Chain A
Amino acid sequence: MSIINEISENLQKGKAKLVKEQVQTAIDEGVASKDILSALLDGMNVIGEKFKNNEVYVPEVLVAARAMNMGMQVLKPLLASDGVQAKGKVCIGTVQGDLHDIGKNLVKMMLEGKGLEVIDLGTDVSPEAFVNAAIENDCQIICCSALLTTTMGVMGDVVKAAEDAGIRDKVKIMIGGAPVSEEFCRMIGADCYTSDAASAADAAVELCK
């Protein structure tokens, strides 16, 4: 098996240390950084699809994402010097009043797994903080997560805050979290809703094009 395939396979198995070593080996062997990146992203893609189809569960996603991060640690400096660019820039957070972040973190992992740069604002994020982060980092997308029926309304405030700041035409707003629905998304004037993290990442890539 080529080193590229091995990286992808081991990432899916969550073998973080091995992935890190193999990424280093691949670099030493002169494999192009963008090909190593593809191997990592392909592995994460497989996990994302399996997660969507209930073939693997959160623990498997966690270890795979950790393996990807370990690989990326080694690869990142090289990507920068080779001028390989992220496919887009996204800021993500759980809305004000809400501390649930397991779903948000999964979405983040999947977004990174698609080669997007993600700025993680954490939990309990105010509408202004979302908008400021989007402006400061020149993000194409704001991703809001909410798990409480008492906090999902804050997502509407994020849409308004983006309008008030005059960036609504430059930034797409994606929303998600268990209580959220397509209908709610339309109602508050956000751009995109998906029900799971893997689809969220697919949609984000489309929105960044």
Chain B
Amino acid sequence: MSYSDGIAAINLEMPDRVPRTEYSAALYHLDLINAVLGTTLTPTSSEDDKRKAGSEFRKAWDYGLEWSIDVEASEFGEVRTKMGHAAYSAGNTDYDSEIKSYFNNVDDVLSFDAMKLLPSYTHSELVKRFNNGYASKCSRDPDLVNTMGTYVTAVSALIDLFGWELLLDGLAEDSEQMGKVLERYSQWIQKYYNAFADSDAPVIMIHDDIVWTSGPFVSPEWYRKYVFPCYKRYLDPLKQAGKKVLFTSDGTYNVFIDDIAECGFDGFVMEPTTDMEYIAQKYGRTHSFIGNADTRILLSGTKEAIENEVKRCMDIGKKCPGFIMAVGNHIPANTPVENALWYNECFERMRKR
């Protein structure tokens, strides 16, 4: 069973088969979904049909966990910066050329007070919302571990509020002040973690894109002074409530793996450029981890290269009780269907312990 595999990994109980998850394939890769399910979805199919097919796909590919978050930039209402969206899904349905910001300049950014400007909800409103959200995820995909969580955690919140240009400008102008902006923001978002703690969801996903593929974009000391203390505060109520809390960041967060472990997270989710081997060696007995095959190999690699990539991940993860396999950087819609199918075949062959 996928759920039992997924939850066993999260609880470090070494399931008989390595569980798996994937990102965005079940939402966007219609050709792959059609190939696996025999459906005839097109970009113009109804959202409902796509959603149902997505769930069937997760079942067919035996997802043990669905990576999912609930609190995103939309939470900010108008107080944010829209940075546009490229065509990423099949049929380009996600294209969005809108670029606009609530903030005019660096002074606006550095004086931003989240507590004053962002909407406010009561604890019970949030708990109710999260319980409803969790129940609806579970009714949609009952056979896997559904996660609840935040994307606008700390760094990602600053990105969504201000946009990259103003964020970098703000950091350049006065990084201490930007740290204060983050502190104020963390007070605002704290109530969401308090509510998750009192919700039914057992696994909380804290997603924060703290780094780029090239690593930190601001001095590591800044993160240690301003970002990780926020995480510790967020985790407090969650840990007390017995939740399993996983950390996700895109990019290469090697320099921060130990900092993140020290904050108290139970697991790591990573892209191919983050060092999964290091995580397995140092935290493989005490933490779960999800990763990290490279989608570029699925895009243009040979069958042999794809097989080797699955093997690389399995060699690292199979001996660890909390390992969950995934393509670390999505299986986007331009991945050749036969390559994705072959990846799955290799995974199925190698997953048994």
Given A59-B218, A178-B212 in contact, is the A149-B299 Cβ separation under 8 Å? yes
Give Cα distance in the complex from A59 to B170, angstroms: 8
B217 surroundings in chain A (CB, below 8 A): 57-59
Cross-chain contact A178 with B213 (CB below 8 angstroms): yes
B212 surroundings in chain A (CB, below 8 A): 178
- For the complex, count residues of B whose C-beta is within 8 A of A: 28
Cross-chain contact B218 with A58 (CB below 8 angstroms): yes
Check: A199 CB closer than 8 A to any chain B CB. no
State the Cβ distance, A95 to closest chain B Cβ, in Å.
Answer: 11
Cross-chain contact A97 with B168 (CB below 8 angstroms): no
State the Cβ distance, A193 to closest chain B Cβ, in Å.
Answer: 14
Cross-chain contact B218 with A57 (CB below 8 angstroms): yes
Cross-chain contact A97 with B87 (CB below 8 angstroms): yes
Cross-chain contact A57 with B219 (CB below 8 angstroms): yes
A128 surroundings in chain B (CB, below 8 A): none
B332 surroundings in chain A (CB, below 8 A): 149-150
Cross-chain contact A149 with B168 (CB below 8 angstroms): no
State the Cβ distance, A165 to closest chain B Cβ, in Å.
Answer: 26
Give Cα distance in the complex from A58 to B333, angstroms: 32
Give Cα distance in the complex from A57 to B168, angstroms: 10
Cross-chain contact A178 with B168 (CB below 8 angstroms): no
A150 surroundings in chain B (CB, below 8 A): 86-88, 332-334
A63 surroundings in chain B (CB, below 8 A): 172-173
Check: B215 CB closer than 8 A to any chain A CB. yes
Q: Which of B87, B164, B215 contacts A54 (CB 8 A)?
A: B215
In chain B, positions 242-261 with a C-beta closer than 8 Å to chain A are none
Cross-chain contact A196 with B214 (CB below 8 angstroms): yes
Binary contact track A40-75/B, C-beta < 8 Å → 1, others 0: 000000000000001011111011000000000000
Give Cα distance in the complex from A138 to B154, angstroms: 46
A117 surroundings in chain B (CB, below 8 A): none
Give Cα distance in the complex from A149 to B24, angstroms: 14
Give Cα distance in the complex from A54 to B175, angstroms: 17
Cross-chain contact B218 with A97 (CB below 8 angstroms): no
Check: B119 CB closer than 8 A to any chain A CB. no
Binary contact track B193-207/A, C-beta < 8 Å → 1, others 0: 000000000000000
Residue positions of A touching B, CB distance < 8 A: 14, 54, 56-60, 62-63, 97-99, 102, 148-151, 178-179, 187, 195-196
Further 7 A-B residue pairs, CB within 8 A, beyond A57-B216, A58-B218, A99-B84: A58-B217, A59-B168, A97-B87, A98-B86, A149-B332, A178-B214, A196-B214
